[in-house]
Chain A
Amino acid sequence: MQLPRLTMLDAYMRMQRIRNFEERIVTEFSSGEIPGFIHSYLGQEASAVGTCMHLDDDDYIGSTHRGHGHCIAKGADLKAMMAELYGKRDGLCRGKGGSMHIADLSKGMLGANAIVGGSPPLVLGAALTAKTRRNGKVAVAFTGDGGSNQGTVFEAMNMAVVLKLPAIFIIENNGFGEGTAASYACGTDDLAARAAAFGMPAVAVDGTDFFAVHDAVGEAVALARAGGGPSTVETRCPRFTGHFVGDPQHYRANGEVDVLRRDADPLTLIRRRLIDAGVFDAEQFDALDRDVAAEIDEAVAFARAAPIPDEADLLADVYISYR
């Protein structure tokens, strides 16, 4: 815990934003205000934030269908994010992407991705741009235990090693691909070892522990920035919710999630660590939490009030030019 106080504050705030955003989304989705499918990132906050704390706006990430957390961790505007989920014109993607395609290129966020295993090949490209321009930037591909079984991920890992690209693969092992357990669907319980077999450094860490993620990804990012090529970090972070909001989770034993929320809550863990270390006290955290709650309220109010897209937007932006 050698981090500057402000860094730790920033990390906690980002994690709490994700927590509040996602909990609020569940409510708003259930009341019918948000259309489409929503995949919640609850329980995995430390993975996104521990990773993205090492990145600036010119470093890129590619995300997954469970992408809100990555988007927030990378610094996207909460109001524009919320408006996007509501399908409004003032959304990050003008209401044309939604939860599964939310993107903010100005923040180096190459998009959530509704195709499992879709992002890692794209992230190679961002890494190739960085390598070609020799600008010291890196690109991070998030995927999951489910995505880790996709050929695209294998191809991307091998290509990154062969071309020595400044790419980092984060395998967020949340225990389930949709409704099937990773213990069944992955031929090994050591997903990092698969990545290592492609010829890159790879470690598995407790993905509920911000500091563990932050340390491991810090090494990977430093190596990539120095021209040392790709790495993989498997972050083990069980999800608190179903595959999608509304999933009754018949595949999980009663009480499993209650135990996770009690023993493996990334927010509880970071808070306890920082209180124990005397960095912040409980009152300070409560005040921060109130600030975050207000930010989320504002984002929802903004999204509700925002106009729906113009009908003409249907045909806009398929091409830049079409002649």
Chain B
Amino acid sequence: MPRKTVREAINEALVQEMGRDPDIVIIGEDVAGGEGGSSGVEDAFGGVLGVTKGLLPRFGRSRVIDTPISESAIMGMAAGAAVTGLRPVAELMFADFFGVCFDQIYNQAAKFRYMFGGHARTPLVIRSMIGAGYSAAAQHSQSPHSIFTHVPGLKVVMPSNAYDAKGLLIQAIRDDDPVIFFEHKMLYDLADEVPSEPYAIRFGEANFVREGDDVTIVAFSRMVHIAAQAADVLEREGISVELIDPRTTSPLDEESILESVRRTGRLVVVDEGNPRCGLAVDIAALVAEHAFHSLKAPIRTVTAPHTPVPFAPSLEAAYIPSPARVAEVVREIMR
């Protein structure tokens, strides 16, 4: 099977779906780039990190739409196009920018169906980059997925690898509800085996990354890899880790998490978001409520601290949950 990076997998999903369905349009800032520039070069950007490269020459400007830097107008236009018959894939370049356009997402697109008594259909995908690791500092490095997960009416997807990225994006595009698709910027070059044909991965179905007996670790996006490194270390120490990647935070595969914790009796949640009112405590609460009597040790979370993302590489490294921190927390609840 061919190996492809996350970037290539996402691009392939877009190409294949756009080829299948003429109602799919790409909307965003510099999704192609070069429009109006003095060089005359088209597709000069192809997305700020090259994810949408090559779509413009294939599908033309009517379907690969470069916009002004106007996130509210982008999100509103995509929502309005979705509810009137298109199937837009809009790009919110960095998830941090949700602050300038969230109304169009959470007050408008997310609520159409409910507010309008079930008469609306809003097949909208918003692709957006999350994550620290590039020293991009406080306004280009955040992981605000918990805020989106909090909103009824939105589905939230957080792929951790290329295979999932392709299958989940195809599902997101075919889905008739608004879907937020979070791509971790540190994962774009990560490669694994990705089938060339289109396939969809259902939302709300966790991936059991590895099976184990002593502790359940639930992790999302890049944190799946951090947790896997910790699990390798722990295994050499005789601690058997079950690692679950739910892949979507909304819907959340609650059953898989609960079933695993009922077997292992221990839970650690690893999340790159900030700790308060976040995804990690959400899952901790789920288990406390429904699997309390199976627990052999306190539930633990490993998250970013309650701070903005710092710039200095040394501080940023301390901000991001590390394999060492995850391993140490597991050791503590194994004692």
Binding site for B on A (CB under 8 A): 60, 62, 91-97, 101, 103, 105-106, 110-111, 113, 115, 118, 120-129, 131-133, 139, 151-152, 155-156, 158-159, 162-163, 316-323
Question: Are B68 and A125 in touch, CB under 8 angstroms?
Answer: no
Please tell me if B25 contacts chain A, counting CB pairs below 8 Å: yes
Interface residues of chain B, those whose CB is within 8 Å of chain A, are: 23, 25, 62-63, 65, 67-68, 70, 72-86, 88, 103-104, 107-108, 111-121, 152-153, 155, 175-177, 202-205, 251
B85 to chain A, nearest CB (A): 5
Quick check: A321 and B175 within 8 Å, CB to CB?
A: yes
26 A-B contacts (beta carbon < 8 Å): A62-B80, A95-B117, A103-B119, A105-B116, A105-B120, A111-B116, A115-B107, A118-B108, A121-B77, A121-B108, A122-B80, A124-B73, A152-B73, A152-B104, A155-B70, A155-B73, A156-B73, A158-B70, A159-B73, A163-B67, A317-B113, A318-B114, A318-B152, A318-B153, A319-B155, A323-B204
How far is the CB of B295 from the nearest CB of chain A, in Å? 28
Let me know if A93 and B73 touch, CB within 8 A.
no
**C-alpha spacing A78/B176, complex, angstroms:** 30
Residue among B63, B107, B112, B117 with max Cβ neighbours from chain A (10 Å): B117
With A159-B67, A159-B74 known, 7 other A-B pairs at CB within 8 A are A60-B80, A93-B119, A103-B115, A115-B108, A129-B85, A162-B68, A317-B117
User: Is B78's CB under 8 angstroms from A319's CB?
Assistant: no
Are B80 and A126 within 8 A (Cβ)? yes
* Closest 4 A/B residue pairs (Cβ): A121-B76, A125-B80, A94-B117, A125-B81
**Neighbouring A residues of B116 by C-beta, 8 Å:** 93, 96-97, 101, 103, 105, 111
Chain B residue contacts of A152, Cβ below 8 A: 72-73, 76, 103-104
Candidate in B67, B70, B73, B82 with the most chain A CB atoms within 10 angstroms:
B73
CA distance A110 to B45 in the complex (A): 34
A166 vs chain B, min Cβ distance (A) = 12
How many angstroms between the C-alpha atoms of A122 and B116 in the bound complex? 15
Q: Is the CB of A129 within 8 A of B117?
A: no
Among candidates A103, A132, A323, residue contacting B203 with C-beta atoms closer than 8 Å: A323
Known: A120-B76, A132-B25. A126 touches B81 (CB 8 A): yes
Pair A122/B108 contact, Cβ less than 8 Å: yes
Bound Cα distance from A121 to B121, whole angstroms:
18
A residues within 8 A CB of B72? 121, 151-152, 155-156
